[in-house]
Structure 1
Amino acid sequence: MILELSTPVILLTAEVALLPLVGEIDTNRAKYMLDNVLAQCAKLGGEYLFTDMSGVVIIDTVVDHRIFNIVNSLRLLGVETILSGIRPEIAQTATQLGIGFDVKTTQSLQVAVKRYI
């Protein structure tokens, strides 16, 4: 039940959903996110998923890589992910791993909403 609460996909419009991430994302939570987010997005049928990472405090390189795997899996389902609120240390980790260069990002969730809704 706690894991379900940690990855809520919230429908904002018929085409746009939001995944607010808060706290530490460990390997177990990242695996659950992959399964849960894909299932919820397939069920909701939207075109965009805003993933707000401004509340993420700790993330490691394995988890960082898994988040980008979620983005790529969603793309195969026809859902475009827009990452917002990425902290400098997470951006640095992604750059060091060579991932994330084809992912749409915005500085904040507010910018994503303004641009896509």
Structure 2
Amino acid sequence: MNHEFTEQYYLLTKERLLAQQELINELGAPVIPIVDAIAVLPLIGEIDTFRAKGILITTPGKCISRNVSHLFIDLSGVTLLDTMVAHQIYQLTSTLNLLGIQSTISGIRPEVAQTSIQLGLDFSHVSTHSTLKQALSKQGIGIKLYERK
């Protein structure tokens, strides 16, 4: 009886853990529609190789399922990008380009830009801007911030 209980408890715990991991992965790279076929991928926190690979794998599918034609990838909340992650972001923009989805990158920090250049990554097919607000306004999408009274 103890053996059966332990086995069932293990299976239940494993199932919950997998569900929580899927939720974490979904929240780690959300494709958020803002208007028509335009969406934002806000990336926040540290992006390690595992997370970068997950972003590369899931983002194109999310864009296709949401009929996104232009994705704004905002890196302003990313504290550190290593060479592997910069390469994964490059692969993501290239993949989206092949799918007919235009990419715009915003919020690139100077050290990330230098890493990309040192790697020889060519982001010439991607529009870049210092802030997400600047990138959106360049596309004619205004952001209004409402103040509390």
State the TM-score, normalized to the length of structure 2. Answer: 0.76
- Give the Cα–Cα distance (whole angstroms) in 2 for the partners of residues 39 and 65 of structure 1: 19
Aligned residue among 60, 63, 66 for 1:44: 66
Report the counterpart of residue 9 of structure 1 in structure 2: 31
1:109 counterpart letter in structure 2: L
Secondary structure of the structure 1 residue equivalent to 2:79? strand
1:40 is displaced (CA, Å) by 0.3
1:47 is displaced (CA, Å) by 1.5
Runs of 4+ displaced beyond 4 Å: none
Secondary structure of the structure 2 residue equivalent to 1:12? strand
Aligned residue among 52, 56, 68 for 1:34: 56
Is it true that 1:56 corresponds to 2:78 in the alignment? Answer: yes
Aligned length: 117
State the TM-score, normalized to the length of structure 1. Answer: 0.96
Is it true that 1:76 corresponds to 2:98 in the alignment? Answer: yes
1:107 counterpart letter in structure 2: S
- Give the Cα–Cα distance (whole angstroms) in 1 for the partners of residues 118 and 107 of structure 2: 19
Identity, % of aligned pairs? 45
Aligned residue among 85, 88, 99 for 2:110: 88
Greater displacement, 98-107 / 87-96 = 98-107
Tell me: higher relative CO, structure 1 or 2? Use CA pairs within 8 A at least 6 residues apart.
1
1:64 counterpart letter in structure 2: A
2:82 counterpart letter in structure 1: D
2:52 counterpart letter in structure 1: A
Greater displacement, 92-101 / 54-63 = 92-101
Report the counterpart of residue 110 of structure 1 in structure 2: 133
- Give the Cα–Cα distance (whole angstroms) in 1 for the partners of residues 66 and 44 of structure 2: 22
Secondary structure of the structure 2 residue equivalent to 1:68? helix
The answer as to whether partners of 2:69 and 2:102 remain within 8 angstroms in 1 is yes
Is it true that 1:98 corresponds to 2:109 in the alignment? Answer: no
Is it true that 1:66 corresponds to 2:110 in the alignment? Answer: no
1:15 counterpart letter in structure 2: A
Is it true that 1:20 corresponds to 2:31 in the alignment? Answer: no
The answer as to whether partners of 2:90 and 2:123 remain within 8 angstroms in 1 is no
